[in-house]
Chains A and B, each alone.
Chain A
Amino acid sequence: MEYIAIVLSAILVNNIVLAQFLGLCPFFGVSNKISTAAGMGGAVLFVMTIAAIVTYLIAHYILIPLDLVYLRTVTYILVISSLVQMVEIILKKVSPPLYQALGIFLPLMTTNCAILGVAILVIQQDHTLMSGVVFAIAHSIGFTIALVILAGIREQLELLNVPKGMRGNPIILVAAGLLAMAFMGFAGIV
């Protein structure tokens, strides 16, 4: 029951992109086609879950016992960027098709603030390892849903005659705003 609440809250109520404003760079950067948006979502799911597990273990077995919590930001970002590198190398050897599919999105992961944000939130909200994993998976699903919906909207937007001043980024931001408004309708279900 507790896990269902975490999942619903992360996907619908506190959507990581539309309500918490994390991971906006990929949200606007790779949402021009539905297929690339889904690929990015898969890469985020993969890296975010691993990153949440590794940073959880580091926080609970190294930083907190040694009273080094002030090193949190430095450690996490180093761990995440080397993790991304490692995942890339391992995937290349172990599963070339998956590597091909995620390929270009993996290096972008280091500067995706959603990854570091979720890693910090898992520690801040006192999750256990299991609920932290559920939390990370649910957030990445929420990220993917928002990304795919926006990509769908953008594919339609290309066919429209948008007023000159609003062409390009401004109209995409307004569309994202309306999408966020739609997600506000879920407020209060958890």
Chain B
Amino acid sequence: MDQAKNFTKGFIRENPVFALMLGLCPALGTTTSAYNGMGMGLATMFVVIMSNIVVSLIKDFVPNKVRIPSYIVIIASFVTMVDLGMAGYMPALHEQLGLFIPLIVVNCFVLGRAEAFASRNTLGSSVVDGFGMGLGFTLALTMLGASREILGSYALFGFQFIGQDGMLVFILAPGAFIALGYLIALTNKLNK
């Protein structure tokens, strides 16, 4: 497959959140601000790249019957690394994302990439795929976080541009569903 196409497919056309509706739990649960969304996206991107590398390296040795459990263990090990690393170096962000860091392990999008792509392709294209898809996921979470932050607290990445309280509902749970609904409608329009 053409590597450039392989890299960019995750941005809009096969975007994990907007087009495939995968990984919705962290996408809605952590995007109260653009910064949190980006942090979650980058953490997931690390896991997806690393697990794609390992899965594509071991794909010839793993018996077919136990492949899913072995992929899950590989993913879980990288998630533990991210969890401990973030707790050590970015305690404030780690506190904000909370439960959703260990839950990267059950993010269907990460396991989906391992099963659908990395277990069938070479190391090189698996890395490119993990990088592109991870970037698409980060992009989606940052966009969702940014739109919720702009509407909910009239700010972007913490810089407030109107000196008053925003529409609080977009920071709370209902706003997450509604903002994602409109962003998906927008992506559908762009995909046509």
List residues of A whose CB falls within 8 A of some B CB. Answer: 18-25, 28, 70-74, 77-78, 81-82, 110-113, 116-117, 120-121, 124, 165-166, 168-174, 176-178, 180-181, 184
Q: Is B53 an interface residue (CB 8 A)?
A: no
Do B21 and A21 touch (CB < 8 A)? no
Are the C-beta atoms of A120 and B173 separated by less than 8 Å?
Answer: no
Q: Which of A25, A72, A78, A110 has the most CB of B within 10 A?
A: A25
Q: Report B's interface with A, CB cutoff 8 A.
A: 21-22, 24-25, 28-29, 68-69, 72-73, 76-77, 79-80, 83-84, 99, 102-103, 105-108, 111, 169, 172-178, 180-182, 184-185, 188-189
Q: Given A74-B73, A78-B72, is A170 in contact with B182 using a C-beta cutoff of 8 Å?
A: yes
The distance from the CB of A80 to the nearest CB of chain B, in whole angstroms, is 9
Q: Are A116 and B102 in contact (CB under 8 A)?
A: yes
A169–B187 Cα distance when bound, in Å, is: 11
Q: Which of A71, A74, A111, A174 contacts B178 (CB 8 A)?
A: A174
Q: What B residues does A165 contact at CB under 8 A?
A: 185, 188-189
* Contact A113 B25, CB 8 Å, known A170-B184, A170-B188, A180-B174: yes
Q: Are B80 and A70 in contact, CB atoms less than 8 angstroms apart?
A: yes
Given A120-B99, A165-B189, are A28 and B106 also a contact pair (CB < 8 Å)? Answer: no
A30 CB to nearest B CB, Å? 13
Known: A116-B106, A170-B182. 14 other contacts (CB 8 A): A21-B24, A21-B29, A24-B28, A28-B24, A73-B79, A74-B73, A77-B72, A113-B103, A116-B105, A120-B103, A168-B188, A176-B177, A177-B176, A184-B173
Min distance, Cβ B140 to any Cβ of chain A, angstroms:
14
A113:B174 contact, CB within 8 angstroms: no
Nearest-neighbour CB distance to chain A for B33, whole angstroms, equals: 15
> Is the beta-carbon distance between B84 and A24 smaller than 8 angstroms?
no
Q: In the bound complex, what is the Cα–Cα distance between A77 and B25 (angstroms)?
A: 17
